Amino acid sequence: MKKFCMHPDQEKCKGPIKGAHALQNNKIISLLAGSERHVYMLNTKKQPLLIPLYNGEVVPIVELSRVSANDATTETCFCDYHDNIAFAVIEKDAPDFDETSEEMKFVYAYKAFIFEYYKQRIAFDIFQSNFRDNPIAFQSPEMIGMYRMLQLKMQEFEPIKQHFDSQIIGNTFEGVVTCAIRIPEQIKFAGYAYIAPDFDVNGKRIKHTKKGIMHRIAITIFPEITQSWLLLSCLESEKHIYEKLFNQLETVSIDKLKFYLNMILPLYSENMVLSPLLWRAWDEETQMAYTYYANLHGPEAMQMGMCIGFGLKNAARDKSGKVYEQAPKINLFL
Ligand SMILES: [Zn+2]
């Protein structure tokens, strides 16, 4: 991974670029790690397992592994100085999350976004430099398709970054809409993502792609001592796309909310952190199912996404609402 500071005020960069935590070590990760000081997550820094399929294809599987709390969700994307000042409002000495604080909501949204942006930027840069070194290998239609995808994603991310940057330079927190959902218990996992969910809580399609451009939401979910928070943010200019989903999430029963999250989150588990208590509470079959979901990419992930849409739609048809009370196979809320 290349190291660079993502903060817009580059002239003030100071100190080394260390591993900055996407999810705060002192508040979130340490709560999940407990006395073990370790959590479980997809470890992309480890060699993947290579699983041969019946048709001769070999698929790489990234396993979940025990990761030190100090290393979980770190990326080399902020200098020491900016890591300290940009996120101070939600860091170790800050009070718990306050849903009336525009600054806190803004910083959570920015954090989820910018860590994903950084990873995209790196992937794009690596692709470009590999292409320069070995142009022949990168001429296959598959590689060109991948390059176009990365290019489009950068195009989609860029205006969002510009908005965040201009607000940060001006020391303001405007133009971002956040839906904050309180979960009345301490959950045993946390995660962040910058994604475009395909379905709402009733399995209805969300039309997130306009004129070929996908609009995403920044999601952070994390525990506190007595409760937990689910935060979803988009730009004010994208509010019309996600307003309905936000309204649903604010008004559904807790069972229906958990049902939705249990269906959706395992598919976006790249940045999910599980407490050892949760991981060990799952039997081997559940652990394998979670690992399988977490490793789905491309067309297979899309197929699974469709199945989830059907599942949500069917559940919404059950007028008794009983279906939301049943524990699913992968239950994040144990
Ligand atoms: Zn910096």
pLDDT in tens, 183-226: 999 999 999 999 999 999 999 999 999 999 999 999 999 999 99
81 CA distance to ligand 1 centroid (A)?
6
3 CA distance to ligand 1 centroid (A)?
11
173 CA distance to ligand 1 centroid (A)?
19
Average pLDDT over residues 46-57: 84
15 CA distance to ligand 1 centroid (A)?
8
pLDDT band at 321 (very low <50, low <70, confident <90, very high): confident
Nearest to 198 by CA among 222, 214, 213, 219: 214
Q: Give the count of domains, the chain.
A: 1
Rounded Cα–Cα distance for residues 225 and 213 (Å): 39
Task: Inform me whether the pLDDT recorded for 1 exceeds 80.
Answer: no
5 CA distance to ligand 1 centroid (A)?
5
9 CA distance to ligand 1 centroid (A)?
7
Largest interatomic CA distance in the chain:
61
Task: Inform me whether the pLDDT recorded for 45 exceeds 80.
Answer: no
11 CA distance to ligand 1 centroid (A)?
8
Q: What is the percent of the chain where pLDDT is above 70?
A: 100
The confidence score (pLDDT) of residue 142 equals 85
Rounded Cα–Cα distance for residues 201 and 302 (Å): 18
Task: Inform me whether the pLDDT recorded for 230 exceeds 80.
Answer: yes
210 CA distance to ligand 1 centroid (A)?
34
The confidence score (pLDDT) of residue 268 equals 87
Average pLDDT over residues 292-308: 90
96 CA distance to ligand 1 centroid (A)?
26
168 CA distance to ligand 1 centroid (A)?
13
Q: Give tens-digit pLDDT for 144-194.
A: 888 999 999 999 999 999 999 999 999 999 999 999 999 999 999 999 999
195 CA distance to ligand 1 centroid (A)?
26
Rounded Cα–Cα distance for residues 39 and 65 (Å): 8
Rounded Cα–Cα distance for residues 178 and 113 (Å): 13
pLDDT band at 319 (very low <50, low <70, confident <90, very high): confident
176 CA distance to ligand 1 centroid (A)?
23
Q: What residue numbers bound the domain in which 142 lies?
A: 1-334
Amino acid identity of residue 281, one-letter, is A
pLDDT band at 331 (very low <50, low <70, confident <90, very high): very high
Q: At what angle do helices 254-264 and 298-317 cross, to 10 degrees?
A: 160
Question: Which stretches of the chain are assigned E, i.e. beta strand?
Answer: 17-21, 38-42, 49-52, 58-61, 64-68, 74-79, 176-183, 189-195, 209-210, 213-214, 217-223, 228-235, 272-274
279 backbone φψ class: left, alpha, beta (φ>0; ψ -120 to 50): alpha
177 CA distance to ligand 1 centroid (A)?
26
The confidence score (pLDDT) of residue 90 equals 95
The confidence score (pLDDT) of residue 31 equals 96
Task: Inform me whether the pLDDT recorded for 92 exceeds 80.
Answer: no
4 CA distance to ligand 1 centroid (A)?
8
128 CA distance to ligand 1 centroid (A)?
24
Nearest to 191 by CA among 273, 125, 132: 273
Average pLDDT over residues 94-115: 96
90 CA distance to ligand 1 centroid (A)?
18
Average pLDDT over residues 303-320: 93
- Which residues are paired to 230 by β-bridges? 181, 221
The confidence score (pLDDT) of residue 299 equals 86
123 CA distance to ligand 1 centroid (A)?
21
153 CA distance to ligand 1 centroid (A)?
24
117 CA distance to ligand 1 centroid (A)?
16
Q: Give tens-digit pLDDT for 115-137.
A: 999 999 999 998 889 888 888 88
Q: What is the percent of the chain where pLDDT is above 90?
A: 78
